[in-house]
């Protein structure tokens, strides 16, 4: 099929030569240019030539000429965990494609905020939608905008100067969890803080929300570190009684399941001795006994976010908006 002898990549010049027309005509035909009328026979010749050569236009050359792209760049450091994010992500990509954008995820693992922004800017995306795993600085936002990005949108716990912010206030999750526990009469509440790196952007605001909620009713909140391993959970369970807590909000359902099992193995009754609540409403949480209470998060739909991206791209003039996008509500089951 493909010879080593470096077959040259076919260009529009090759197509033109093969079809016996000029490069201009090739461009007109292949882009269905409305402004000019090209005869049907010519169109066919051009298309055939392009097909036979396996011609594919060079996106870089095109963007160089036109001065813009239709690329929406989604930075991704850790691929987002959980079905919540992946559903959202897929929706967003699908909706953006329908709006005729090219959606590209840029793996930015191991890049700092400004370095990442520079790397993204090299691709001249028309929009950047950051899910907040990588911390975008105000300076990074500026670099992107100077490089031609019409829309820089952050979707995360905090807003960033200069960017349109879709604030997913993670505090609401911690708040919802702890409020529920307090309603259940709990007063000394542990909040699991995952030890895994990269989760701080989520766990910190969740803790803050938990604190706020507790402060309002004079309850006590105690951060509890936990790694996502059985050993770590067992160790925590072993010293659980000494902590004197009567409830725990365990970051999300996965950590909650892990901890709940460890507590049970230690002979601690859930929810009798200790209430447990997670977050994300994973199906698996319903399989445990007692069924895991959780906080359900209502994320913005990918569809709506795609529409916002498109609106900002078309009219970049507007002031950076701030939207609150997340609703969180406790779903009591049996573990609390």
Binding footprint of a second copy on the chain (CB under 8 A): 1-2, 4, 7, 9-10, 53-54, 56-64, 69, 76, 78-81, 86, 89-90, 93-94, 97, 102-107, 109-110, 118-119, 121-124, 138, 141-143, 145-148, 161-162, 228-230, 254, 257-258, 261, 283-284, 286-288, 316-317
CB of 259 to a second copy, least distance (A): 10
Nearest to 253 by CA among 173, 313, 171: 173
Residue (143 or 210) nearer to a second copy, CB:
143
Which of DNA, a second copy, none does residue 267 bind to, with CB < 5 to 8 Å depending on kind? none
Which of a second copy, DNA, none does residue 39 bind to, with CB < 5 to 8 Å depending on kind? DNA
User: Is there a contact between 250 and 232 (Cβ–Cβ < 8 Å)?
Assistant: no
Residue (29 or 207) nearer to a second copy, CB:
29
Could you tell me which stretch among 21-29, 181-189, 240-248, 287-295 binds DNA (CB under 7 A)?
21-29
Which of DNA, a second copy, none does residue 27 bind to, with CB < 5 to 8 Å depending on kind? DNA
Note whether 51 binds DNA by CB under 7 A: no
Residue (216 or 284) nearer to a second copy, CB:
284
Residue (85 or 220) nearer to a second copy, CB:
85
Site for DNA in 57-86 (CB under 7 A): 57-58, 61-62, 64-67
DSSP calls for 189-243: EEEEEE-STT-HHHHHHHHHHHHHHHHHTT-EEEEEEE-SSHHHHHHHHHTHHHH
Instruction: Please count the residues of this chain forming the interface with DNA, following the rule CB under 7 A.
Output: 33
CB of 244 to a second copy, least distance (A): 25
| Burial of 6 (C-beta count, 10 Å sphere; 0-12/13-18/19+) | exposed
Note whether 120 binds DNA by CB under 7 A: no
Residues 6+ apart with CB under 8 A from 67: 148
Give the DSSP H or E segment for 294: strand 294-298
CA 18 to chain centre: 46
Which of a second copy, DNA, none does residue 79 bind to, with CB < 5 to 8 Å depending on kind? a second copy
CA 228 to chain centre: 21
Plot region of 267 (φ>0 → left; ψ -120 to 50 → alpha; else → beta): left
Residues 6+ apart with CB under 8 A from 54: 10
Nearest to 242 by CA among 268, 210, 208: 268
Alpha carbon distance 333, 283 (integer Å) = 12
Interacting residue ranges for DNA, rule: CB under 7 A? 8-9, 11-13, 20-28, 30-31, 33, 35-39, 41-42, 55, 57-58, 61-62, 64-67
């Amino acid at each position: 099929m493909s010879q080593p002898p470096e077959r040259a990549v076919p260009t529009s010049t090759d197509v033109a030569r093969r079809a016996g027309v000029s490069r201009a005509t090739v461009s007109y035909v292949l882009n269905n240019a409305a402004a000019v009328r090209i005869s049907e026979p010519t169109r066919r010749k051009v298309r055939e030539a392009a097909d036979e050569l396996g011609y594919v236009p060079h996106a870089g050359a095109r963007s160089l000429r036109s001065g813009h792209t239709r690329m929406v760049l989604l930075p991704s450091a850790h691929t987002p965990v959980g079905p919540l994010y992946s559903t959202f992500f897929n929706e967003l990509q699908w909706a953006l494609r329908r709006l005729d954008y090219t959606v590209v995820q840029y793996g930015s693992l191991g890049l700092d905020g400004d370095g990442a922004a520079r790397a993204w800017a090299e691709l001249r995306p028309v929009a950047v939608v950051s899910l907040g795993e990588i911390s975008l600085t105000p300076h990074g936002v500026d670099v992107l905008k100077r490089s031609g990005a019409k829309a820089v949108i952050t979707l995360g716990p905090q807003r960033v100067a200069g960017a349109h912010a879709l604030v997913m206030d993670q505090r609401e999750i911690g708040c919802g969890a702890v409020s529920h526990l307090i309603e259940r009469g709990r007063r000394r509440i542990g909040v699991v803080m995952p030890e895994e790196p990269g989760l701080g952007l989520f766990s910190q605001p969740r803790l803050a929300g938990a604190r706020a909620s507790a402060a309002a009713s004079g309850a006590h909140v105690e951060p509890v570190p936990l790694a996502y391993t059985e050993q770590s959970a067992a160790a925590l369970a072993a010293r659980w009684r000494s902590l004197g807590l009567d409830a725990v909000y365990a970051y999300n359902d996965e950590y909650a399941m892990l901890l709940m099992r460890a507590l049970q193995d230690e002979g601690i009754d859930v929810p009798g001795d200790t209430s447990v609540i997670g977050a994300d409403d994973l199906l698996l949480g319903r399989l445990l006994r007692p069924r895991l209470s959780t906080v359900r998060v209502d994320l913005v739909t990918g569809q709506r976010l795609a529409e916002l991206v498109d609106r900002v791209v078309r009219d970049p003039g507007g002031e950076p908006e701030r939207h609150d996008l997340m609703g969180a509500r406790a779903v009591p089951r049996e573990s609390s």
